[in-house]
Amino acid sequence: MSRETYVTEALGGIYERVKAARVLMVGAGGIGCELLKNLVLTGFGEIHLVDLDTIDLSNLNRQFLFRHEHIKKSKALVARDTASKFNPDVQLMASHANIKDPQFSVAWFKRFDLVFNALDNLDARRYVNRMCLTAEVPLIESGTTGFNGQVQVIVKGKTECYDCNPKEVPKSFPVCTIRTTPSQPIHCIVWAKSYLFSNLFGIDEDESPDLDNSVNSDNASEIENLRRENLELKHIKDAFGTSEFTRLVFEKVFKIDIDRLLSMEDAWKHRKAPVPILYEEFQRSANAEVKKAASKVASDDQPVWSLAENFVVFKDSVERLSARLLQLQKNAAEGSTRPVLSFDKDDDETLNFVVAAANLRSQVFGIERKSKFEIKQMAGNIIPAIATTNAIIAGVCVLQSFKILNNDIDHAKVVFLSRRPERIFSTESLQPPNPHCGVCSVARCGMEVDVSKFTLHDLVEQVLRAKLGYSEEISVVTDKLLYDIEFDDNVDKTFKELGIDDGTFVTIIDEEEPEGSTPRVNLELLVYAKYVIVVLVVVTVALTIHREGLGDVDVNYKLTSIPEIPRKPVPKPTEEANEVPVSNGKVAVSAGLKRKAEDDELVEVNTLDTKKSKVETRDEDVVVVDDDEAIEID
């Protein structure tokens, strides 16, 4: 009997479309493993998988494509190798990379019939959402938070996008990235609390069994690395309670482990690499700078401690916790369970350890340090990932994909999973795009330029004003404010100097409000560097512009189309006259905010948050739920 017999009977005529489908899956974590299994067993013809993370011991309780011998290996590559055995007829391609890398361009996204998001953070989710809107590829967004989950279908021009509704800031964290590529303070806090504290004073997370039986030519080097890590950990615990214990801990987690991460060169091609820190250097700095006792430093919870102060508190807390645990072990009855310490945010000694360790790790990865007061607020919000929830949500993703492949978007739903006994599933009809959304309710256009020669002045004068009819009241934004009527310091800089390259999105915000009307919607320009071959039908704009006092000016750019840029809808009346739309409304800008660039560097001005709020919904100090964070849970 053919392996296709039952799935053909179950799916009927749509199965041929499933077999012919080319899909992209972003993320190979909790949801990703279950989703990839489903896609392969369903028989999707070609599946591309992208994930930057490596496999960690804590993943193994719910990410069932991975085994112990896979620890430290690429999630994407291992998931591909494991899942390919389920159905050899499926083409599986995997990339151990960041989905935001330049190689994954809009033209690349256009190759797919459907994209599945199984990501662990808001920033990456928003990026994929934007790329799918630009490439006009349907997206199925999913996430879980404990026992809750959600699946959302996103189709450009027909449904709400990921950013149409503001996201509440969840109070939990991503598990998969805290050990390898932290990017937020919360990642370092969770690392200090759930990994380092637990390994030293609580239940050992990473003590691994003998791996001799799994050694082979493919994983021999990984097994050797694990043996070395186990020996290092054992050596540290052998020194527990001695004067050397603190130094050994410090050197392992802030020097040896960081050097090992740096050996993963591919992980740092497009992000800032960590910088190891040395015990002796910090000891000298602490001796010179810190004139008060560690207990006095730790008692002041409002300021952000200096690096030297964090070092002093780290040493003191390790010594105090070691002495406490040794006393508990000494007093324990013979034959009883080995005593351990548990983190408690109201226990000053355990909190001081987490604060100091988290801030030192933040220094290693170039992340903002936090005060003891702030860390205390953040340190208790852990929501566990539930394997069953991931499996259910992954199944719903595939069911929704059938409706997209069958061109039956009207019957697709937003699906919510909860633990309510009276109703586990609830659904909502897909809503039309939010007309005030700064991500999907915008005009879009591609522009090919020589980024080494084309300047911001060329963009403003030749393209925006002369060609597209903008007035002087505009703002130009990428991840920074580049230009507005009160900030023109960058006009003579080339795109290259401004950090604009192939694949960069440049957003134009219309600030003019004609009497009786509204500003135009944002214009989103996607830049194609001139040396890149663009797989698009390009409308060449080769014209000569004559402006008074300038003479003839040659235009050296190409637009993929001449965009239609409609006016924004009139906001609904509100009780408060000053209220504005959340993500794309007009906000009054105070005068006198213009600043001069110093040393020819980009300058961020006070209006930047205002401009960026018109581009997309912002989440300051976003804390992402586990590695399978939900979009928004009712």
- Where along the chain do its domains lie? 5-169+385-429, 173-379, 443-570, 573-619
Interval 232-259: pLDDT, tens = 766 787 788 788 899 999 999 999 989 9
Q: What percent of the chain has pLDDT over 70?
A: 79
> What SS3 state is found at 494?
strand
**Least confident range of 179-188, 313-322, 548-557, 580-589:** 580-589
Interval 16-70: pLDDT, tens = 999 999 999 999 999 999 999 999 999 999 999 999 888 877 788 889 999 999 9
Q: Measured on CA atoms in the order 608, 609, 613, 615, is the torsion positive or negative?
A: positive
pLDDT of residue 582: 34
Residues 6 or more apart whose CB falls under 8 angstroms from that of 407 comprise none
pLDDT of residue 308: 93
pLDDT of residue 552: 40
- The pLDDT-based confidence of 384 (bands split at 50, 70, 90) is low
Q: How far is the C-alpha of 76 from the C-alpha of 49, rounded, in Å?
A: 6
Is residue 490 scored above 80 in pLDDT? yes
pLDDT of residue 234: 64
- The pLDDT-based confidence of 5 (bands split at 50, 70, 90) is confident
**Least confident range of 184-193, 239-248, 284-293, 332-341:** 332-341
| 164: annotated active-site residue | no
Q: Which CATH code is given to the segment(s) 443-570?
A: 3.10.290.20
pLDDT of residue 625: 39
Is residue 613 scored above 50 in pLDDT? no
The CATH number of domain 173-379 is 1.25.40.10: no
pLDDT of residue 422: 81
Is residue 312 scored above 90 in pLDDT? yes
Fold of domain 5-169+385-429:
Rossmann fold (3.40.50)
DSSP 100-151: TSTTS-HHHHTT-SEEEE--S-HHHHHHHHHHHHHHT--EEEEEEETTEEEE
Most confident of 124-128, 375-379, 545-549: 124-128
pLDDT of residue 389: 93
pLDDT of residue 229: 56
Please indicate whether residue 534 or residue 63 has the higher confidence score (pLDDT).
Answer: 63
Q: How far is the C-alpha of 117 from the C-alpha of 317, rounded, in Å?
A: 41
Please indicate whether residue 302 or residue 513 has the higher confidence score (pLDDT).
Answer: 302
**Least confident range of 129-143, 375-389, 393-407, 515-529:** 375-389
pLDDT of residue 314: 95
Cβ atoms of residues 203 and 340 within 8 Å: yes
Is residue 634 scored above 50 in pLDDT? no
pLDDT of residue 381: 62
The 10 Å CB-count burial string (b at 16+, else e) for 174-208 is bbbbbbbbbbbbbbbbbbbbbbbbbbbbbeeebeb
Same fold for the domain at 5-169+385-429 and the one at 173-379?
A: no
Burial of 544 (0-12, 13-18, 19+ CB in 10 A): exposed
- The pLDDT-based confidence of 553 (bands split at 50, 70, 90) is very low
pLDDT of residue 233: 64
- The pLDDT-based confidence of 342 (bands split at 50, 70, 90) is confident
pLDDT of residue 1: 62
Q: How far is the C-alpha of 145 from the C-alpha of 126, rounded, in Å?
A: 18
- The pLDDT-based confidence of 206 (bands split at 50, 70, 90) is very low
* Average of per-residue pLDDT values in the chain: 80
**Both tokens assigned to 270:** 């497009």
- β-pairing, 505-510 vs 474-477, is antiparallel
Q: How far is the C-alpha of 115 from the C-alpha of 187, rounded, in Å?
A: 27
- The pLDDT-based confidence of 344 (bands split at 50, 70, 90) is confident
What's the predicted TM-score (pTM) here?
0.63
Interval 60-114: pLDDT, tens = 888 999 999 998 899 999 999 999 999 999 999 999 999 988 899 999 999 999 9
**Least confident range of 120-129, 510-519, 523-532, 611-620:** 611-620
Most confident of 143-147, 387-391, 499-503, 533-537: 387-391
pLDDT of residue 45: 92
Q: What percent of the chain has pLDDT over 90?
A: 41
Rounded average pLDDT over 291-317: 91
Please indicate whether residue 414 or residue 630 has the higher confidence score (pLDDT).
Answer: 414
pLDDT of residue 37: 96
Is residue 584 scored above 50 in pLDDT? no
User: Which residue in the list 161, 176, 397, 437 is annotated as catalytic?
Assistant: 176
